[in-house]
Chains A and B, each alone.
Chain A
Amino acid sequence: MFRRHYIRELSSYLDNELPEKKRRIIETHLAGCARCRDELRQLQLLSVKLKEWRAPVMEEGFESTVRNTIVAQELERGTSQMKKTWTIMVPSGVLAAVLVVLFVGKQYLPKGPQVPIDKNQSVAVTTPHVAPKVPPPVVSQVPTVHDPALKIKLSEPSMQGPVFAYQGVMDAQRYYSGGYSPPPQTLMQRMMQEDSLAGYYPSQSEFFQEDYNRIYENEFRLVRNDSLSTFSIDVDTASYANVRRFLNGNTLPPEDAVRIEELVNYFTYDYPQPQGTDPFSVTTEVAVCPWNSGHRIALIGLQGKTMQTQDLPASNLVFLIDVSGSMKDYNKLPLLKSAFRLLVQQLRPEDRVSIVVYAGASGVVIDSVSGDQEEIIMQAIENLQAGGSTAGAAGIVQAYEIAKKNLRQDGNNRVILATDGDFNVGLTSEGELLRLIEERRNDGIFLTVLGFGMGNYKDGKMEQLADKGNGTIAYIDSLLEAKKVFVNQLTGTLFTIAKDVKIQVEFNPAQVKAYRLVGYENRMLENKDFSDDTKDAGEIGAGHTVTALYEIVPADSKEEFAKTDELKYQQVTVTPSDELLTVKLRYKEPKEDTSKLLSTTIKVAQIANAPSENFRFATSVAEWGLLLRNSSFKANASYQSVLERARAAKGQDADGYRAEFIKLVELAQMLDTKSKEVRK
């Protein structure tokens, strides 16, 4: 019996999308036609195979991102309407003239920044950065809280500091957009009351997302070609807390969110206190590399001098707090408030505290209040409420102005920025902002950046700010982490004992073939920068420990590395020596401009057979980092070996951080296995 094949219909048949009659015909046909049966089986198999591509799920908490964005958009719409009203008032002739000029100008101008011409977007695109000419934000009209009378005012619900102030800005916006009415209870309710939404499109660039700068891992370098390695220290720990947040949310962190040096430096190690006048001690140790037995690991550990809180010089602290809409989430502003409660308890009468908030506009909440006025400070913090868009730059400028005004020559001057990092820089460009921070750094004002929340966390931008501002960045994901930053390590967070700390290691080609610095990718320096005192580098706080690890390939190793051809005009002679390497350190006292030099050498004989607890724990954290980064240098790294070493090297662990680490490694191991299974 000759029948045509039904190849074309089989796809619809598989999806059960054929009319009943057709389906029956095909069923009968299939019973007698091997080719069509085969085709159908392939389609079925294909369908199964396709399911192997599993996309990640969207994280929990996306609702609040959406909600906040809607609120932010609604608020911005208020501003854009104001602009519209204004536009209508401009005589149409002028408008036409402007258009002509724009059009002609566009024809003749070479490549310039072009505003996307989209009838729906034109308004939204231009408005977010326009600081509406609201009357000077009511914030600044709130008197400073020295005034005992205000203490009473603040506790009155009708006269709450920043809330009142913030609503002032909103009301001003409403006033300017025409039709003033008292603000309803919540933004969401207000939003839902408004009806005319058509014609308003948000601009694409407004979307919030997490940002990580790409990390290009340090590679092995041949000692023969390049015997010097130079980098700046880094006491930041933000990456660890951020990685923990991902893992606790049952996902592996993105590779670029894992900065190995920050994982290693999250933990304090048992290095000796410095002797004499040096602000820190240097410890070195070499032993076999746990993830590649043919290699060695050289550990360089710095221990900053420990100080008691009461020995700290008086502080001039300016808190710059982001109260924009995106800070509403439970793990942002509410957590920040609890964290500050911890900090305020640590303050002394000689310390001065100022608070600057920023959202759509920025304003001073309290100006230089004594540290023992706990109640006033707490009241001011309690009253903070999130809402509105973010103009971070204006806030930073204002915070530095306040810090400069209250500058203490002999004290500790510091701006503490608390944000989720999602600020648009408004009229100031990002470059200008960084320049401003660099200038203020020379006035002796340091910067601490505290990262909060998730969803729109701009890690790269915040790290850049902290680096430029002679400061540190910490990511706060829980009250426990807040305790670490504000209580256990308060002196380190607030007091810098040495600045521009650079490390240069010289390797001996007679003993070392190649080396690789583990982590510190964004802290690498040119070799010539080491003795150049104008080049900025990292700071070390009181009691901080900093650890760096070099993976070293012994000179007798057979391993091949990409190398350049032999030089034609130069010959390198190697002086026989039993030294493995020399570590040189440069640092400046916090108020000095010239650096001091420290140096120490490691001999081959010092290679340890039984590495110390410090070494074992630090390398297990680094190995974990290699796994999380899926590093090309991970060699035989495994979760099992990380766990074994970490468990054995847990030590006293009074605060439980190392125990937590072990739990996180176990979690990562499970997630990693799971994702591998999914891929298979």
Chain B
Amino acid sequence: MQEYRDEEVMQQYMEGKAEAMDELVRRYRTPLFQFALRVIGNEEDARDIAQETFLRIHQYRHTYRPIGKFSTWAFSIAHHLCVSILRKRKWWGIWPRRQDDPDELLEFASADPSPQEQAAQEDVARIVQQCIQSLPFLQREALILREYHNLDYQEISRILKTSLGTVKTLIHRARQNLKIKLLPFLEETKGGDHV
């Protein structure tokens, strides 16, 4: 089954080939789990989200249309689940009040201790993680989809159900925020190329 594209495997599952689900799980278990983990920051919830995503793929298999990419569909379900898990837990600090206005989102970035203070004791990965998790929700999601899943803006806009321009702004803002927080690590190799 490995030679088939995701969309074809999904088609087979819709036609009643039960093993197709195993193949989809094999292909997407780690991406979905990692996506949720990076967004939510908690392994247990991430596991739940990955599993629930597959359950919903099963439940709504008849609504799938092979026009779009399967990955877009899967990630958009996972995105939806991340949103609802955050809502359910009332993490209002993380969940932005007006998700349609990216300008508004900046206000919700939490003030973390500056990385310089932590750098001595903690390693870069941990700081990166903290910085990303302190980003406003949609910025974080857009950036994660871009940086860790290598999706293009078109796909991200479909997943987050927002416009292409918004995705562009979200990613730009996310990077600017991170750049400020992670500046000490970016400066090490800076210089020497000034004109």
Question: Which residues of A come within 8 Å of B, CB atoms?
Answer: 8, 11-12, 15, 17, 32, 34, 37-38, 41-43, 45-47, 49-58, 62-63, 65-67, 69-70, 73, 188-189, 191-193, 195, 197-198, 200-202, 204, 207-209, 678-680
B171 touches A15 (CB 8 A): yes
A49 touches B128 (CB 8 A): yes
Q: Of residues 100 to 158 in B, which have CB atoms within 8 Å of A's CB atoms?
A: 123-126, 128-129, 132, 146-148, 152-153
B147 touches A50 (CB 8 A): yes
**What CA separation (Å) do A338 and B122 show in the bound complex?**
48
B67 within 8 A of A: no
A12 touches B168 (CB 8 A): yes
B75 within 8 A of A: no
By a CB distance below 8 angstroms, the chain A residues around B43 are 56
Q: Mark B19-40, 1 if CB is under 8 A from A, else 0.
A: 0011001100110011001100
A-B contact count (CB 8 A): 141
A73 touches B55 (CB 8 A): yes
B129 touches A15 (CB 8 A): no
Q: Of residues 35 to 53 in B, which have CB atoms within 8 Å of A's CB atoms?
A: 37-38, 43-44, 47-48, 50-52
B153 touches A12 (CB 8 A): yes
B129 touches A53 (CB 8 A): yes
Top 10 A-B residue pairs of the complex, sorted by shortest distance between their CB atoms: A55-B34, A58-B29, A11-B172, A63-B22, A58-B33, A63-B25, A34-B195, A188-B18, A53-B128, A207-B48
Residue in A11, A41, A57, A193 whose CB lies within 8 Å of B193: A41
Residue in B22, B25, B52, B168 whose CB lies within 8 Å of A204: B52
By a CB distance below 8 angstroms, the chain B residues around A188 are 18
Q: Distance in Å from the Cβ of A42 to the closest Cβ of chain B? A: 5
Can you name the residue of chain A whose Cβ is closest to the Cβ of B28?
A: A58
Residue in A42, A46, A56, A209 whose CB lies within 8 Å of B44: A209
Of B59, B132, B152, chain A has the most CB atoms within 10 Å of the CB of B59
Known contacts A45-B189, A50-B128, A53-B125; A207/B52 CB under 8 A: yes
Q: Is the interface of B mostly helix, strand, loop or mixed?
A: helix
Question: Which residues of B come within 8 Å of A, CB atoms?
Answer: 16, 18, 21-22, 25-26, 29-30, 33-34, 37-38, 43-44, 47-48, 50-52, 54-55, 58-62, 85, 88, 123-126, 128-129, 132, 146-148, 152-153, 168, 171-172, 175, 178-179, 182, 185-186, 189-190, 193-195
A52 touches B47 (CB 8 A): no
By a CB distance below 8 angstroms, the chain B residues around A678 are 125
B193 touches A66 (CB 8 A): no
Q: Distance in Å from the Cβ of B39 to the closest Cβ of chain A? A: 11
By a CB distance below 8 angstroms, the chain A residues around B52 are 202, 204, 207
**What CA separation (Å) do A43 and B190 show in the bound complex?**
12
Can you name the residue of chain B whose Cβ is closest to the Cβ of A8?
A: B172
Can you name the residue of chain A whose Cβ is closest to the Cβ of B130?
A: A53
A202 touches B55 (CB 8 A): yes
Can you name the residue of chain A whose Cβ is closest to the Cβ of B85?
A: A204
The 10 listed contacts between A and B (C-beta, < 8 Å) are A11-B171, A11-B175, A34-B195, A38-B193, A49-B182, A52-B125, A55-B37, A56-B37, A58-B47, A678-B125
By a CB distance below 8 angstroms, the chain A residues around B186 are 42, 45-46, 49
Q: Distance in Å from the Cβ of B148 to the closest Cβ of chain A? A: 8
By a CB distance below 8 angstroms, the chain A residues around B129 are 53
A37 touches B193 (CB 8 A): yes
B21 touches A49 (CB 8 A): no
Q: Distance in Å from the Cβ of B126 to the closest Cβ of chain A? A: 8
Residue in A38, A47, A69, A198 whose CB lies within 8 Å of B194: A38
Can you name the residue of chain A whose Cβ is closest to the Cβ of B195?
A: A34
B48 touches A204 (CB 8 A): yes
Q: Distance in Å from the Cβ of A185 to the closest Cβ of chain B? A: 12
Q: Distance in Å from the Cβ of B66 to the closest Cβ of chain A? A: 19
A54 touches B25 (CB 8 A): no
**What CA separation (Å) do A469 and B123 show in the bound complex?**
45
A17 touches B22 (CB 8 A): no
B55 touches A17 (CB 8 A): no
Of B51, B54, B172, chain A has the most CB atoms within 10 Å of the CB of B51
By a CB distance below 8 angstroms, the chain B residues around A11 are 168, 171-172, 175
**What CA separation (Å) do A69 and B48 show in the bound complex?**
12
**What CA separation (Å) do A45 and B147 show in the bound complex?**
12
Q: Distance in Å from the Cβ of B98 to the closest Cβ of chain A? A: 22
**What CA separation (Å) do A357 and B60 show in the bound complex?**
34
**What CA separation (Å) do A45 and B29 show in the bound complex?**
29
**What CA separation (Å) do A538 and B125 show in the bound complex?**
43
Q: Distance in Å from the Cβ of A9 to the closest Cβ of chain B? A: 8
Q: Distance in Å from the Cβ of A346 to the closest Cβ of chain B? A: 38
**What CA separation (Å) do A678 and B125 show in the bound complex?**
9
B190 touches A41 (CB 8 A): yes
Residue in A34, A57, A191, A195 whose CB lies within 8 Å of B30: A57
**What CA separation (Å) do A200 and B56 show in the bound complex?**
10
Q: Distance in Å from the Cβ of A203 to the closest Cβ of chain B? A: 10
Residue in B21, B61, B179 whose CB lies within 8 Å of A46: B179
